[in-house]
Structure 1
Amino acid sequence: MPLRTLPLLALAACALRPADDFQASATEATSTSAAATSTGPITPTSEPATGITASPPLPTTTEIEPSTGPSTTGPGDTTSPFIVPPDAGDWLECDQWLEDCPAGEKCMPYASEESVFWDSTKCVPVAPNPDGVGEPCEPIGSWIGGEDTCAEHSMCWTEDFDALAGTCVAFCDGSPDAPTCAPPATLCTVSGSGVLSLCLPMCDPLVQNCSNGDLCIPDPNGSGGFICVLDASGEEGQAFDPCEYANACDPGLYCVLPELATECAPELLGCCLPFCDLAAANTCPGQDQVCLPWLEEGQAQPGFEDVGICGLPMP
């Protein structure tokens, strides 16, 4: 039975947590920059995603840890730090979807004063001879300061926090209600209370084919596809380990509710369990576990119909 039909499905979106090294690097970069406005960056989904409708039972406060984002204060993010960002409405100077800045400027996300994640937008000058999407780039000042060397309608996304180097990633096209991505093999991922709207690389969770040691996990926006995010698992994240964020498990595993394995303590917020191939022999490590469909038939992106998650059979 598809996990989407399982009980406890109506849970909050999974958030991403920024990796500890990203947090440390961001803090250092910010402290040495006169233009810095905060002390830590976040990762590709820097606050709880708001539209997740993933099929498997997910921890109610699971978000993306600053391994794809910045701070670590508790469960509740799936696209960045463990911090739930404040309402960004009062800090939005421009609209990334419309690119409504004056000529020669672009609309960029940045961290407002005393913030550690991208929670606002502002118009900034486009760098001379800017880098194009897919080309190497650098942030100017800090990762969360809002300025970089990328062209209009794109931003520098992290690959090497210590070196302050990255690759230009396109912002999403279309609208918040109907997002699209121009670069091939990418998905629009919106986070940071809508401040971040990035076209991130698609990947295969059964192969874990992301670069730079990133994780391949379900798209936080519920598209039925999978995207690459930073690995925030650290020394933990093995099968049956506790977790609180979507990117807090090792490659090939994902943070879901503990009810899916007898080996997971029932009081846990989340538990790391492996993805599995519905078309292959059962390799699930838990007692009585089987490979459960990740999404209902017809809900998955083409090519991902056989993706499942290890779990106990559902009634």
Structure 2
Amino acid sequence: MRSPVVVVLLACACAGKPVGPAGTTADGTSTTSGGEQRWTTEPQEPTTTGTTTTGTTTTTTGASEPELPSEGYHCDPRRQDCPAGHKCAPFASMMADDWNGARCVPLAGDPAELGEPCETEDYAHSGIDDCGLGLICWYFESAADLHGRCLGLCGEDDGCVDPDARCYEQPEASFLCYPLCDPLAQDCPPPATLCVRSSGVDGFLCRYAPAGEPAGAGMPCAGETDCAPGHVCDLADLVSGCAGERCCAPLCSLSQPSCPAELPQCLPYDATPPPEYADVGVCRAP
């Protein structure tokens, strides 16, 4: 029997005047610095057992699941404040392509633990999966095949229970523990095919490659996930012939450099890198 991993957390931060999604109330004990307010609602309880009589037939009904809300923040994954047998999970209303709310969903009878295989129901950001408390199913094979593995949720003030993961802020105030990886080996398990450096994170993380053809060396980019595996999105003046504000440049090993002729210098990617990334360089223009 798997034992649920109780990890922490996602927060919805709404700045300014205390106005939240319809039906919500401000939880005065759950605030962030700077006056930002996290929102939650009273947990939805399952309906109770009852009987219905039609003519001479009596039907007994058991407890049923609460109806899942279609939008908004209805619970707090930081507190896991849902009824017994449920967990608070981030989800996307209207089948959006990123999380924009949180709701109570049924907890699997034998939930998967951190890093174990899992499956999500309905659509990628439904929040309905067979992972335990404080976990979410991610890294899918495709939009049609929602089999992945359980990753931890985290909060802006909390780390990850997995020492080999880092908390990365997603859009709409959601936080996910992405696994660390080796950018020179590009050792992320598919379909998380990119090992990239993300702003605000001390290390390289496994991320999804965007749809379409990734950008190669010298091609314009807007962010790290725009470039092909083994590349970074570097400043234009460091990449020969760059036609944008930033362009992709190949990574290299400082101890065994190998760079293309147009970007011949293998230079340290970070001035003061963590020890495990001390050999990571990037090919740059002279």
User: Is structure 2 residue 275 aligned with structure 1 residue 294?
Assistant: no
Is 1:275 matched with 2:251? yes
Where structure 1 has 5 or more consecutive residues not aligned to the other structure, the ranges are 1-87
More relative contact order, 1 or 2 (CA 8 Å, 6+ apart): 1
* Partner residue, 2:194: 215
- Distance, in Å, in 2 between the alignment partners of 1:310 and 1:98 is 46
Is 1:188 aligned with 2:163? no
Which residue, 265, 281, 285 being the options, matches 1:308? 281
- Partner residue in 1 for 2:42: none
Superposed displacement of residue 163, structure 1: 2.0
1:274 deviates by 0.9
**CA–CA separation in structure 1 for the residues paired with 2:95 and 2:245:** 29
**Higher strand fraction (1 or 2):** 2
Number of equivalent positions: 216
The residue type equivalent to 1:279 in the other structure is S
Q: Which residue of 2 aligns with 1:164?
A: 146
Q: Shift of the alpha carbon at 1:148?
A: 0.9
Give the AA of the match of 1:208: Q
SS in 1 for 2:237: helix
Q: Which of 93, 108, 128 matches 2:74? A: 93
Unaligned runs of 5+ in 2: 1-37, 40-70
**SS of the residue aligned with 2:89?**
strand
- Helix, strand or coil at the partner of 1:193: helix
1:159 aligned counterpart, secondary structure:
coil
**Quick one: percent identity of the two aligned structures?**
37
TM-score, normalising length from structure 2?
0.68
> Which SS does the other structure have where 1:247 is aligned?
helix
1:150 and 1:276, CA in 2 relative to 1: closer, same or farther beyond 3 A?
A: same
From 98, 103, 108, give the equivalent of 2:84.
103
* CA distances 1:91-113 after superposition (whole Å, capped 9, x unpaired): 33333233233332222111123
The corresponding residue for 1:176 is 156
Q: 1:1-315 residue pairs with structure 2 within 5 A?
A: 91-113=72-94, 115-161=96-142, 162-172=144-154, 175-177=155-157, 179-195=158-174, 197-212=175-190, 214-220=193-199, 222-232=200-210, 234-265=212-243, 268-281=244-257, 283-287=258-262, 289-297=264-272, 300-312=273-285
Equivalence for 1:11 = none
Deviation at 1:114, TM superposition (A): 6.5
Q: Which one has a bigger Cα radius of gyration? A: 2
C-alpha change, 1:130 and 1:232, in structure 2 (3 Å) is same
Q: 1:142 to 1:236 in 2, by over 3 A?
A: closer
Contact 2:95 2:123 in 1 (8 A): no
